[in-house]
Amino acid sequence: MEESAEHRHSGSGKMQLGLSVSDSDVSSFTPLVVLELADDTKAEAISWLLNRIRDKQQNGGAELLVNQLLFPAQDDQKSNPNVFVVGSTLQRLLNGAEDVGLFKEFQDGTMRGFTYANRESFKDFNGDGEGFLSDAECQYIIKHELDTLRAKNEEHVPGYPKLKLYPGKSVVRRLQSKGVLIQYFPLHNKEDLKRLSFSWYKKFKLSFQPLDDIRHYFGEGLALYFGFLEYFTFALVPMALIGIPYYLFDWEDYDKYVLFAVFNLVWSTVFLEVWKRCSATLAYGWGTLCRKKAFEEPRAGFHGALGLNPVTGREEPVYPSSKRQLRIYLVSVPFVLLCLYLSFYVMMVYFDMEFWAINTYHENPNIATSILLFVPSIIYAVVIEIMNLLYRYAAEFLTEWENHRLESSFQNHLVLKVLVFNFVNCFASLFYIAFVMQNMVLLRQSLATLLITSQILNQVMEAFLPYWLQRRRNKKVHKRMRRLMGDKELPLLGQVQLETEMNTYLGTFDDYLEQFLLFGYVSLFSCVYPLAAVLVVLNNITEVYSDAFKMCHVFKRPFSEPAANIGVWQLAFETMSLIAVVTNCALIGLSPQVKAYFPESDTQLILIVVAIEHVLLAFKFILAFVIPDVPKHIQVKLAKLEFDSLEALKKRKTLEDTET
Amino acid sequence: MEESAEHRHSGSGKMQLGLSVSDSDVSSFTPLVVLELADDTKAEAISWLLNRIRDKQQNGGAELLVNQLLFPAQDDQKSNPNVFVVGSTLQRLLNGAEDVGLFKEFQDGTMRGFTYANRESFKDFNGDGEGFLSDAECQYIIKHELDTLRAKNEEHVPGYPKLKLYPGKSVVRRLQSKGVLIQYFPLHNKEDLKRLSFSWYKKFKLSFQPLDDIRHYFGEGLALYFGFLEYFTFALVPMALIGIPYYLFDWEDYDKYVLFAVFNLVWSTVFLEVWKRCSATLAYGWGTLCRKKAFEEPRAGFHGALGLNPVTGREEPVYPSSKRQLRIYLVSVPFVLLCLYLSFYVMMVYFDMEFWAINTYHENPNIATSILLFVPSIIYAVVIEIMNLLYRYAAEFLTEWENHRLESSFQNHLVLKVLVFNFVNCFASLFYIAFVMQNMVLLRQSLATLLITSQILNQVMEAFLPYWLQRRRNKKVHKRMRRLMGDKELPLLGQVQLETEMNTYLGTFDDYLEQFLLFGYVSLFSCVYPLAAVLVVLNNITEVYSDAFKMCHVFKRPFSEPAANIGVWQLAFETMSLIAVVTNCALIGLSPQVKAYFPESDTQLILIVVAIEHVLLAFKFILAFVIPDVPKHIQVKLAKLEFDSLEALKKRKTLEDTET
């Protein structure tokens, strides 16, 4: 067994001779991905896994290069000996690019599915193809090849009789869900990172973000998030510009907000429709728009009794969907309802505090009590954030426990749970103040405090806290490394050591969620507090910088994730903009300015407002239907691609017919 | 030139020798499709076209069998000499089935794309494949092969220097749009027709329609229409059953309709969601659900200046979309608005007549004047039908003039134009009576007269009139044939002669439109006139019979049209059911029964009704989102198909890799 682990690169025995050897030895290929196994993994399992990774594709292997990293023995703290770096030959990567269905720019400027046979016809392919694939793409390909390394006839993982393997199922996912494989993540590329972070957030001039570079380094999913963030911020600028004079000149005149509400209505509809087109343009240029979705594998955490998969006809763990439904309806739904009730209860406590503060102020108006006026809102805002955070963990735990088979279904259930609660938690008090209490002064004050407090909290929680923790950790690691190795330069070992201990970036979920709530504040109630848009613009500008910083220096590099759009969030934002139409119409109906037109009859006013609201809703649907989701010039390119592939198919068929 | 026309089958010279020869000669293959050219078509054009149709596929031909039909010279009336029948060898049809991407049942019960190479693995394939393809499928394949017969290097049609040809463009469409090709249509199969019509409408017992047989004979599009008609009728039965006691016991109590309105609300939502699943099940079984759409060719009537098609890169007529937009917004939209205005004007005239009739009745109540009460509604109903009919022609003319490039875009614009006008024309008066006049007695009376009158008119216009005309024409043709040929049996010549002169069935548009309006009557206002559902059920039962009869005996057989769903009509029905929610909520709000709960405040009542309406609308959207459009067991089959094709692709790739 020991031999096979040594058969290609240096085994552990040789490595411990000299550190410099292991470091130079590893660099016989460019390490792209780090693989960390549990430190008590049995040797036979390790050598079996490495063999499978190195084995030829014909034999069902991944045909990748893999090497063990050995850290010097330490007296105070034991490093994990089972850390591996994975790389690949260029030829293997190009073949892998075809496997994953990568789209690249063709000579004629259109995007086409890459095939190894036609490689010379792609635009940036020079020589042997060095530099044709970006780092992120290479790492994505390696991840794909590792994920699709499938069990053959092995009954179980060598050395672990209980860790059963099912033919045709992913080995890596199985190891991961059983805790043998702790993590695998892509390495940063220090050169590129330096260049990217300079053009992204280090130079002090206002400019667009380098979206293409971000996409090259972090992949399409993240680049789309930053594109959306930028687009959203720019879209808010006109609203902010209108908001400032409103704020300056009508501070005490709550009646003038009708015009602003109308603007809100139109803006929130157009905003999302235009984004769809922008996102399609971006995704086309990045080659993800026409890329087909791969067949979805079960999640790593999915478990169940052995059964027949009706689709593939193979034996694998299955979990009856009726059981899952029971869990959802008997546990998850009641839990969410309970949380909503709790949130309402907290809201009521807040209103009690608020009235107490107002009464205190009226009894004894001075500076101290006027500051006291803001205290309940601030406390409430903090409590809201804490509740959101706690709920977030609970929702993740519950959704995990529901045992969804596919990642997409897991994500949908998680997003739904979190969105419903966050929406109610953040906006219930505002709705209550606006429509039950009909107190516009309190609404304005409450909105401002909620917005400002949550923004400050978010920036702290999201960027500064992790950064501070990371710096402390970095220093410790540096110290440890220096003590051990003296002045010897071991860049790779150090880098891997550092990055292994960095926090994992958990995806764009929380970032989108934050933008979703900000969008809610702006589109629902900004007509009564026109400065909201200004605050959100300011927040988002700092958000770009803090998010960029956290991606580059606080978190592990994430695997690139091909994305053609912002997915379920488009739907979430559209739902919010529907609610915004209803809310703004209702606010218009409540305004004294409008009421003045119907002095004798409330009924007529309500009927007219409802009629207008219905017309607006219908108009919104028609608009969404009429505006094509994909711009014309991209539609033409997509049609051209389809036409060409049909023609090629026809030609091939004719050729085959004449051959036979 | 003459030789080439004669080269395979008998030319015209031989044919004129004896009629029996031409008839027996033609039956050397089963004639499936009739092709009629203008009677002054030049001989060189004919022989060129026949050559192209007969030519081998390798040379760009259609490789079909085609033969001229010669009718005996007649003294009184000249028959068109240029009538041809087209057939095909079995082998060619099977190859064509692969070209058009037909899905057939595989041995394992799933539906798979047919390929000639795997033909033995399909369920009903026996021997050489005789009977594997239905008649309708064969005719569809021949139509496809004729439509995709493309111009090669010919500059123009021989004999017509002005009739330019563009390389790669469909020859048949070009000839059709220039009037050289008058029509081509599939022949009836008398045996099958007899069997179908017996099981469909001739036996007098209640049973489901033989949808599979209809699909075999007429194709999926028409079968889906009849499936929808049947489903809609059955769905109305519960409503009709509830309606009868309502009608019998509460005839004068207009207040009890709240419960019925609530039922309406739920029914109209569930109805359409369940239909989507039924339609998916039907379409899967017929192999159209997973079939890919073919690349869409320009319409036959499309014209424009020569330019470059950006998708194919070939020269062909193009028409700037800006010009089309101008035509739509400067002519079509104003025209539609004008028609709507006219419709409102007619409505106002109707109300004047109505009031005059009511006054006359009140002044002198007797039998004559009580009958007079119904006269305005009846006249108005007839006028509505006439206006709908006239508008229908105008809309078709206008949409044709807008010069849409694709049939789908043409259809969408036509449907939109017709739906908007028909909706306003039929329902405006009812909305006016319900919500402006708030006169429920008049609403009930008006609805009843409109519904009954339009049903009677429709049945007459749609089935009896064409049938009567057809019978007259049949008799004339029979007489003519008998006079000419005496007692000689020439079934094919007679059949072609008869069918050539039959009316062409213009597609399911008018049939769906009628159901759409009936759905409107039922879902919008049936709560005030519970008998509406009963009337619609009765109408639809006769509709099944008259539609079946008209398809089998009044019209030419239409080409089968593969359809996976009812297309734009699903959207139209869903929009109607949205409007139904709003209308029913408003009717509930107006009911004295509900008003009694809020004696002092109208405002509160309206707010509650609006709130409930919003909740219902939201619920409707959530329901549409949550209920999967495709039933689970079909989803599994679709996933299996995709999985298998991915696996096959992978296997082929591995094979190719090992070969090289």
Tokens describing residue B326: 């101008």
Residue A583 lies in a domain: yes
**Can you tell me the mean pLDDT for A632-636?**
88
Residue B463: inside a domain: yes
- Summarize the confidence of residues A106-130 as an average pLDDT: 84
Contact A317, A300 (CB under 8 A): no
The reported pLDDT for the residue numbered A9 is 39
A334, A388, B52, B166 from B156: Cα distances, Å: 74, 73, 14, 8
Query: pLDDT at position B252, please?
Result: 54
Interchain contact A75–B (C-beta under 8 A) = no
How many CB pairs lie under 8 A apart between chains A and B?
46
| % of residues, chain B, pLDDT over 70 | 90
Residue A403, phi-psi category: left (phi > 0), alpha (psi -120 to 50), beta (remainder): left
Residues of chain A contacting residue B658, judged by C-beta atoms under 8 Å apart: 58
In this predicted structure, the answer to whether residue B616 has a pLDDT above a threshold of 60 is yes
Asked, for residue A340, whether it belongs to a domain, the answer is no
Q: Rounded to a whole number, what is the distance in Å from the CA of A646 to chain B's nearest CA?
A: 8
Average pLDDT value for residue range B31-36: 90
d(C-alpha A443, C-alpha B364), whole Å: 64
- Chain B residue numbers with beta carbons less than 8 Å from the beta carbon of A607 are 606
Q: What is the β-pairing status of strands B111-113 and B156-157?
A: unpaired
Helix (H) or strand (E) holding B120: none
B183/B269 same-domain check: no
Q: Is residue A381 part of a domain?
A: no
Statement to judge: residues B441 and B589 lie in one domain: yes
Angle (deg, nearest 10), helices B211-218 and B135-147: 30
Chain B: residue whose CA lies nearest to A589: B607
User: What's this model's pTM, rounded to 2 decimal places?
Assistant: 0.86
- CB-based contacts of A238, cutoff 8 Å, min separation 6: A267
Q: What is the CA radius of gyration of chain B?
A: 29
Is B506 part of the contact surface with chain A (CB cutoff 8 Å)? no
For the cut 60, the answer to whether the pLDDT of residue A240 exceeds it is yes
Cα A87 to Cα A34, A53, A91, A134, A420: the distances in Å are: 9, 11, 12, 14, 43
Q: Please list the residues that pair with A150 across neighbouring strands.
A: A170
Cβ atoms < 10 Å from Cβ of A571: 13
Region A353-361 average pLDDT: 90
Q: What is the mean pLDDT of residues A421-427?
A: 94
Do B128 and B217 fall into the same domain? Answer: no
Distances (CA, A) of B13 to B1, B3, B51, B53: 14, 11, 17, 20
Q: How far apart are CA A224 and CA A214, in angstroms?
A: 9
User: In total, how many domains does chain B have?
Assistant: 2
* B513 band by pLDDT with thresholds 50, 70 and 90: very high
C-beta atoms of B636 and A310 within 8 A: yes
Is pLDDT at A327 greater than 90 in this prediction?
yes
Interface test with chain A among B56, B108, B169, B311, by most A beta carbons within 10 Å:
B311
Which range, A105-119, A345-359, B14-28, is most confident? Answer: A345-359
Which among B57, B311, B582 has CB closest to A640? B311
Question: How do residues A265-288 score in pLDDT, each as one tens digit?
Answer: 888 888 899 999 999 999 998 988
User: What is the distance between the alpha carbons of residues B638 and B647, in angstroms, rounded to a whole number?
Assistant: 14
Segments of A482-572 assigned E as strands: none
pLDDT at A10 over 70: no
**Alpha-carbon distance B649 to nearest alpha carbon in chain A (angstroms):** 11
Judgement on whether residues B259 and B174 belong to the same structural domain of the protein = no
pLDDT, residue B335, reads 96
Q: Higher pLDDT residue, A26 or A594? A: A594
Closest CA to B577 of B273, B148, B146: B273
Residue type, B144: H
Cα dihedral sign for B628, B629, B632, B635?
negative
> Which of B138, B166, B187 finishes a domain?
B187
Nearest Cα residue in chain A from B115: A653
If you average pLDDT over residues A346-374, what whole number do you get?
A: 89
- What is the share, in percent, of chain A residues with pLDDT greater than 90? 28
Q: Comparing A230-239, A466-475, A499-508, B332-341, which segment has the lowest mean pLDDT?
A: A466-475
Whether residue B626 sits in one domain with residue B505: yes
Q: Count CA atoms within 13 Å of residue A228 on its CB side.
A: 28
Instruction: Give the number of other Cβ atoms within 10 Å of residue A505's Cβ.
Output: 20
Q: Residue A19 pLDDT > 60, yes or no?
A: no
Q: Which of B161, B208, B179 is nearest to B39 (CA)?
A: B179
Range of the domain at A108: 33-187
Are B602 and A607 inside 8 Å of each other by CB? no
> Which chain B residues have a beta carbon less than 8 Å from that of A636?
310-311
- Does B534 share its domain with B500? yes
Question: What are the tens digits of pLDDT across the range A373-384?
Answer: 888 989 999 999
B295: nearest CB among A312, A636, A643: A643
Mean pLDDT of A144-164: 87
Token digits of residue B208: 């489901």
Q: Mutate which of A148, A150, A309, A311 to test chain B, going by most B C-beta atoms within 10 A?
A: A311
Task: Give me the pLDDT at residue B596, please.
Answer: 81
Please check the confidence at residue B68 and state whether its pLDDT lies above 50. Answer: yes
Question: Burial of A273 by CB count in 10 Å (0-12 exposed, 13-18 middle, 19+ buried)?
Answer: middle
Residue A376 lies in a domain: no
pLDDT number for residue B26: 47
Within-domain flag for B655:
no
Burial of A582 (0-12, 13-18, 19+ CB in 10 A): middle
What 3-state DSSP class applies to A183? strand
Q: What is the residue type of B30?
A: T
pLDDT digits (tens, 9 = 90+) for B218-267: 999 999 999 999 999 999 998 888 888 777 776 555 556 777 778 888 88
- pLDDT confidence tier of residue A169, bands split at 50, 70 and 90: confident
Q: Please report whether residue A529 resides in a domain.
A: yes
At residue A18, the pLDDT reads 31
**Chain B contact for A648 (CB, 8 A cutoff):** no
pLDDT, chain A, mean: 84
The rounded distance, in Å, linking the Cα atoms of A529 and A533 is: 9
Q: Which domain-ending residue is among A187, A206, A227?
A: A187
* Cβ within 8 Å of residue A451, ≥6 positions away: A521, A532, A535, A536
Q: What is the pLDDT averaged over residues A26-34?
A: 77
Assess contact for A499 and A556: CB atoms under 8 A. yes
Q: What is the mean pLDDT of residues A20-25?
A: 40
Answer with the one of B132, B160, B187 that is the final residue of a domain. B187
Let me know the angle formed at the C-alpha of B409 by B406 and B414, rounded to the nearest 5 degrees. 125
Please, which pLDDT band fits residue A576 given cuts at 50, 70 and 90?
A: very high
B620: pLDDT strictly greater than 70: yes
Q: Are residues B172 and B286 in the same domain?
A: no
The tens digit of pLDDT for each residue in B70-79 reads: 766 555 556 7
Q: Which of B57, B640, B657 is facing A311, going by the closest CB pair? A: B640
Asked if A305 is an interface residue toward chain B (Cβ–Cβ < 8 A), one would say no
Contact flag B312-A602 (C-beta cutoff 8 Å): no
Is the domain of B112 the same as that of B204? no
Strand partners, B69: B83
Q: Do B607 and A603 touch (CB under 8 A)?
A: no
Q: Is B91 on the interface with A (CB under 8 A)?
A: no
**Residue A398 near residue A335 (C-beta atoms within 8 A):** yes
Of A371-385, B166-180, B563-577, least confident by mean pLDDT is B166-180
For residue B603, give the nearest of A310, A606, A642 by CB distance: A606
Mean pLDDT to the nearest integer, B426-432:
94
Decide if A654 touches B, using CB distance below 8 A.
yes
C-alpha distance from B136 to closest chain A C-alpha (Å): 25
With bands split at pLDDT 50, 70 and 90, how would you rate the model's confidence at A17?
very low
Rounded distance between C-alpha atoms, residue B84 and residue B65, angstroms: 10
The Cα–Cα gap between A68 and A36 comes to 10
* B643 with A603: Cβ contact below 8 A: no
Task: Check CB contact under 8 Å for A643 and B311.
Answer: yes
**pLDDT the model gives residue B296:** 74
Cα separation, A588 vs A592, in Å, equals 9
Alpha carbon distance A621, A642 (integer Å) = 29
Over range B602-620, report the average pLDDT: 88
Shared domain check, A239 and A146:
no
Q: What is the pLDDT of residue B204?
A: 61
Contact across the interface for A311 and B643, Cβ inside 8 Å: yes
* B658 reaches A (C-beta below 8 A): yes
N- to C-terminal Cα separation, chain A? 51
- A250 pLDDT more than 70: no
B229 and B146 in a common domain: no
Q: What is the pLDDT of residue A254?
A: 55
- Residue A391: pLDDT above 60? yes
For position B461, what pLDDT does the model report? 81
- Taking CB atoms and an 8 Å limit, are A603 and B603 in contact across chains? yes
Q: How confident is the model at residue B485 (pLDDT cuts 50, 70, 90)?
A: low
* Binary contact (B582, A614; C-beta < 8 A): yes
pLDDT for the residue B407: 85
Pair (B73, B127) in one structural domain = yes
| pLDDT tens string B447-456 | 999 999 988 8
Inform me whether the pLDDT recorded for A181 exceeds 80. Answer: yes
Query: Per-residue pLDDT tens for B6-27?
Result: 343 333 333 333 333 344 444 5
The mean pLDDT of chain B is 84
Q: With a CB-CB cutoff of 8 Å, which residues 40-59 of chain B face chain A?
A: 57-58
The answer to whether residue A113 is domain-embedded is: yes
Provide mean pLDDT across the span B593-602: 79
pLDDT value for A16: 33
Same-domain check for residues B233 and B161: no
Phi first, then psi: what are they for B554, rounded to 5°?
A: -100, -40
Give the type of residue at A485.
M
- Select the more confidently predicted residue: B388 or A485: B388
pLDDT, position A572: 93
Tell whether B603 is within 8 A of chain A (Cβ): yes
Spatial distance between the Cα atoms of B71 and B174, rounded to a whole number of angstroms: 27
Lowest mean pLDDT, pick from A363-367, A515-519, A633-637, B302-306: B302-306
Res. B653: pLDDT tops 50:
yes
Question: Which chain B residues are within 8 Å of A642, Cβ to Cβ?
Answer: 295
Chain B CB within 8 Å of residue A541 CB? no
Query: What is the model's pLDDT at position A205?
Result: 59
